[in-house]
């Protein structure tokens, strides 16, 4: 199998739209157990792409049960160098509107107990995440999102909390007023961290599906689903436009961060 250098992690709706042509199911054995069901390889705009629904095709995996390490490892085994994540997120800024698309440039980790590294010892590796999202992918995605008809915000800070519940009003105030978060996610971490540890580029297209509980009404899961469903055609166009624009040769430093952490040795986790 030829390497699929680009991967999309998202919901099963993108697969249903027929975005991926010539799709074939694949299964990759990893040291971290099975990856999320539904991993496929196909073509988007002439580019071979791996597609992984993080929650599984039937959305049966809650955020805290997603096999993040197995997912990222499996993509690396397929030859993936660049990963585009598509996520539903709650908006915390007054200038965000439901249906907007944000390309985060920072995150805050508010999760508990998730395996967030491949380096469990005895070797200890401290990888830099000062700038956790690929600076080469982000502007490509922002331009494609605008061309696809989204109202785009080219940067933002996404806070990841454990889920699957939504936040309380008190938590929402803390996230907005004290921590300065712009978005709420349940899956951004540890995906971004693990991708960086394996030298993979990672960037996110975040659809604002709700305004968290600082809005007029509490969040409802069915309404979040409906917003994502309405956004799917534009997301498909975004990816169709963006993926052909991804350079063949990487000009970013994403792959160098882990090499620097390893002392310039291309050593992999055991």
Q: Please give the positions annotated as active site.
A: 210, 212
- The encoded tokens of residue 90 equal 């709650």
Euclidean distance between CA atoms 194 and 31, whole angstroms: 14
Asked if 83 and 9 touch (Cβ cutoff 8 Å), the reply is: yes
The two structure tokens encoding residue 44: 């988007």
Q: Do residues 63 and 82 lie in contact, with contact meaning Cβ atoms separated by under 8 Å?
A: no
Query: What's the CA gap between 103 and 92, in Å, rounded?
Result: 14
Per-residue DSSP letter, 122: S
Q: What's CA 210's distance to the chain center, in Å?
A: 18
Number of Cβ atoms within 10 Å of the Cβ of 266? 9
Which of 226-249 are b and which e, b meaning 16 or more Cβ less than 10 Å from the residue's Cβ?
Answer: eebeebbebbbbbbebbbeebeee
- DSSP tag of 2: -
* Residue 102, strand partner residues: 153, 206
Q: Helices 254-261 & 188-197, crossing angle to 10 degrees?
A: 70
What is the C-alpha separation between 78 and 70, in angstroms, rounded?
12
Q: 42: helix, coil or strand?
A: strand
* 63: Cβ contacts below 8 Å, ≥ 6 apart: 162, 163, 164, 186, 187
């Amino acid at each position: 199998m030829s390497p699929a250098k680009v991967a999309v992690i998202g919901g099963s709706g993108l697969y249903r739209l027929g975005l991926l042509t010539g799709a074939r199911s694949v299964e990759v054995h990893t040291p971290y157990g099975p990856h999320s069901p539904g991993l496929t390889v196909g073509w988007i705009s002439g580019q071979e792409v791996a597609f992984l629904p993080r929650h599984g095709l039937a959305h049966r995996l809650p955020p805290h049960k997603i096999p993040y390490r197995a997912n990222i490892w499996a993509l690396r085994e397929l030859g993936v160098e660049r990963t585009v994540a598509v996520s539903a997120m709650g908006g915390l800024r007054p200038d965000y509107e439901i249906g907007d698309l944000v390309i985060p440039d920072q995150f805050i980790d508010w999760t508990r107990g998730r395996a967030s590294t491949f380096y469990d010892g005895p070797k200890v590796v401290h990888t830099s995440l000062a700038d956790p999202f690929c600076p080469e992918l982000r502007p490509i995605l922002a331009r494609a999102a605008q061309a696809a008809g989204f109202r785009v915000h080219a940067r933002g800070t996404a806070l990841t909390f454990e889920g699957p519940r939504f936040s309380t009003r008190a938590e929402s105030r803390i996230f907005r007023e004290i921590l300065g978060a712009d978005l709420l996610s349940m899956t951004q971490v540890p995906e971004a961290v693990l991708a960086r540890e394996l030298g993979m580029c990672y960037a996110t297209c975040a659809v604002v599906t709700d305004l968290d509980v600082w809005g007029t009404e509490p969040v409802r899961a069915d309404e979040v689903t409906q917003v994502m469903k309405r956004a799917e055609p534009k997301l498909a166009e975004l990816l169709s436009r963006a993926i052909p624009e991804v350079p063949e040769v990487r000009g970013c430093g994403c792959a160098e961060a882990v090499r620097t952490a390893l002392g310039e040795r291309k050593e992999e986790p055991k």
